[in-house]
Amino acid sequence: MRSNSLVDQSYPEWLTVAQLCRRWQLDRKTIYKFIDAEILPVWKVSRHLYRIALRDVLRFEARNRSHLAPR
């Protein structure tokens, strides 16, 4: 039976840079370039620690899907 929780605990609401690197199969430098260029919104937890909202990741993927799809 499924709980009535609004958040499915099997999927994180926030991703680390390392998790996003694995998801997108990209190098950390590339993710940081997106962050520095303000293409990817982040929550800065501390000086060198970021979290990326899953909803922003999904929005980024949807916006860029046409660029990533095989032709």
- pLDDT tens, 6-49? 555 566 799 999 999 999 999 999 999 999 999 999 999 998 89
User: What is the model's pTM?
Assistant: 0.73
Q: Count up the domains in the chain and report the number.
A: 1
In a domain, 66, yes or no: no
The pLDDT score that the predictor gives to residue 65 is 81
Q: Mention every residue, 6+ apart, whose C-beta is less than 8 A from residue 12.
A: 19, 54
Q: What residue has token string 């620690």? A: 49
Domain that holds residue 33: 14-60
28 within domain boundaries = yes
Within-domain flag for 19: yes
Residue 32, domain member (yes or no): yes
For residue 54, being part of any structural domain is answered with yes
Q: Is residue 51 one of the residues assigned to a domain?
A: yes
CA gap 50, 15 in Å, rounded: 9
Above 70 in pLDDT, residue 64? yes
Would residue 68 count as lying in a domain? no
Domain contains 34: yes
